[in-house]
Structure 1
Amino acid sequence: MEFCHFSGSLSAIEFRSMHGLLRVTRSLKFPILLALFLALQSTAFAALAQEKPKRALITGIDHVTIYASAVASSRKFYSDILGLTVGCPQDTGPETCFLVPGSEQRVVLKPLLRETKSPKNWLAETAFATKDVAQMRSYLLAQGLQPGAIQKATDGAQYFNVRDPEGNSIAFVQRSSGKRSSAKSAPPKITGGAAHKQISTHLIHAGFVVKDMAAENRFYVDLLGFRLYWYGGFKDDGTDWYELQVPDGPDWIEYMLNIPANADHKELGVQNHFSFGVKDVHAAAAQLRANGLQTFDGPEIGRDGKDSLDAYDPDGTRVEIMEFTPAQKPCCHPYTAGHPKP
């Protein structure tokens, strides 16, 4: 069936649906038209490639936000027991901010109002450090996500929020330096610090319950570029923990898998957690006791080969203190990326 027929002084061009062919008469050589078409196509593709935003660098964990039912008790735990610095530079927000001494990382306490229903996940937010928050947001928009607007915190940091496929709140934060400060650099002088009680200078990972690992991987791995660090299970052939490093740094997130849907608050407090890195966990245990905490789990070497201990804040949220490097070979699978450093 013939759809249309054009004729003119140059040539006749016939479009035939049956064969899907473009017939060009001798007056215009086919190779010339083909070369022109390919050149235009190449230019169009190049323009599209230039316009598509690239993912900004994700260099580590900027902060974790934890729900607190009694801020005064939680404040005492994080400052007096863990030795975090009370108050962050130029921060005047309503939430309680603790600075990890020697870095720009933070732990933030979010008050849980009495009339608010108790959340399943008391790890309210995991935030990642990026060098260009505007570029990161543009990238996510181009991928079809709906990140929140860029906001400016009271300390001058720029950030925006977005949720992962399972509804976990994450944020991307750009601070003045754009990266985690070296642990060797001097911490800011802030009133209320507890340097003599300090346990760690580096918040190394955050973990949360995951039901659909494939969906989460499409977000964290395929979209954000996170890379496998280690995975293993209670049994050698099982996968109960799946760890992914940020693409441009050593910090990681941990999927806590195979958690029952009816897990109670205590169990979820164990699973939804965060971790500080140390050189010597036994020295950290001694410091915790000196700071007034006599009861905690460990130290002991876990299935990942790392020596660690577990402390719990007043609401039951687990704070893991873990050595940076393994003390022995891990179960199940080898590490596939470098380890964080102090």
Structure 2
Amino acid sequence: MRARIAGVLLLAFAAGTKAEVPGLRGVDHVGLTVPNLAEAEAFFARVLGCKTLARNGPLSAPDDWLTRHVGVHARAQIREMVFMRCGNGANLELFEWSAPDQDRRQPRNSDFAGHHTAFYVDDIQAAAAWLRSNGVETYDGPFTTRDGDYARQWVLYLRTPWGAHLELVSYPDGMGYERNGPERLWDPRAAKP
């Protein structure tokens, strides 16, 4: 059934049919599963200034509801979950799951399903110095791209205490792609608090 739906969507795109979820407005939140919710919540609050606004759990189901609705093992359980507001932009939802078939390996950025969450900062050099002076593990950088669509964007990758990748970005003078036309990516600099 999934392959059939994917085939229909590919045909629709190929035929030039507009395929878009009706009423789509934008990214609401990014969900991350963490090994220890208290540790993760404290990290995002201390390092990025995120505020917890909603909390729920534990949640489980006596049948296969979780499998049918969110694609996890039927005996999986959400120990606890929180919604956090992190400045302007999408919210952050943190989960602490337990499941009989849970894979506890942290994917690298280059792995399938590898991922990172990026946060915009006004002054990436000051942010990098603050992170390092506060014991947060960062990779080399910040670095910038000089050519192409990402030109003038500054980047710094960091890792959470449990190994997840985060990114800080800054492009106070805009990005290279902006010379290609009037349409723009969503810009946190223009968002209202």
TM-score w.r.t. length of structure 2: 0.57
Asked whether the 8 Å contact 2:136–2:159 carries over to 1, the reply is: no
Counterpart in the other structure of 1:289: 132
Relative to structure 1, is the Cα distance of residues 294 and 320 closer, same or farther in structure 2, using a 3 angstrom cutoff? Answer: closer
State the match for 1:311 in structure 2: 158
Counterpart residue number, 2:23: 56
**Whole-angstrom distance in 2 between the partners of 1:280 and 1:288:** 12
Partner letter of residue 56 of structure 1? G
Structure 1 residue 61: Cα displacement: 2.1
Tell me how far apart the structure 2 counterparts of residues 71 and 269 of structure 1 sit (CA, whole Å): 24
Pairwise CA distance, 1:322 = 0.5
Cα separation, 2, equivalents of 1:308 and 1:335: 22
Counterpart of 1:81 in structure 2 is 47
Larger-Rg structure: 1
Secondary structure of 2:40's partner?
helix
Distance 1:62 1:114 in 2: 26
**Structure 1 residue runs without a partner (length 5+):** 1-53, 123-264
* Alpha-carbon distance in 1 for matches of 2:161, 2:47: 12
Which residue of structure 1 aligns with residue 121 of structure 2? 278
User: SS where residue 297 of structure 1 aligns?
Assistant: coil
3-state SS in 1 of match to 2:111: helix
Alpha-carbon deviation of 1:80?
Answer: 1.5
Give runs of aligned pairs for residues 165-180 of structure 1, distance below 5 A.
Answer: none
The question of 1:67 aligning with 2:33 is answered yes
The 5 A counterparts of 1:299-338 are 299-302=142-145, 304-305=150-151, 306-325=153-172, 329=176, 336=181, 337-338=183-184
Spell out, residue by residue over 1:196-232, the C-alpha distance to the aligned partner (whole angstroms, 9 max, x if none): xxxxxxxxxxxxxxxxxxxxxxxxxxxxxxxxxxxxx
Amino acid at match of 2:55: T
Do 1:82 and 1:288's aligned partners in 2 also have CA atoms closer than 8 Å?
no
Match of residue 93, structure 1, among 56, 59, 62: 56
Summarize deviations over 1:115-146 as a string: whole Å, max 9, x none. Answer: 342178x7xxxxxxxxxxxxxxxxxxxxxxxx
Structure 2 CA distance for aligned equivalents of residues 270 and 277 of structure 1: 22
Q: How many residues align?
A: 139
1:111 corresponds to 2:74: no
Question: In 1, distance between residues paired with 2:112 and 2:162?
Answer: 8
| Counterparts of 2:34 and 2:40, CA distance in 1 | 7
Identity %: 22
Q: Residues 239-273 of structure 1, C-alpha deviation per residue, up to 9 Å, x if partnerless?
A: xxxxxxxxxxxxxxxxxxxxxxxxxx334399411
Any residues of structure 2 matched to 1:144-159 within 5 Å, and which?
none
Higher strand proportion: 1
Q: Quote the Cα distance in structure 1 between the aligned partners of 2:116 and 2:38.
A: 20
SS in 1 for 2:184: coil
Q: Is the 8 A contact 2:55 2:83 kept in 1?
A: no
In 2, distance between residues paired with 1:270 and 1:296?
21
| Distance in structure 2 (CA, Å) of the matches to 1:55 and 1:273 | 27
Deviations 1:133-189 (A, max 9, x none): xxxxxxxxxxxxxxxxxxxxxxxxxxxxxxxxxxxxxxxxxxxxxxxxxxxxxxxxx
Q: Give the Å deviation of 1:309.
A: 0.4
User: Where does structure 2 lack aligned partners over 5 or more consecutive residues?
Assistant: 1-20, 58-80
Q: What does residue 72 of structure 2 align with?
A: none
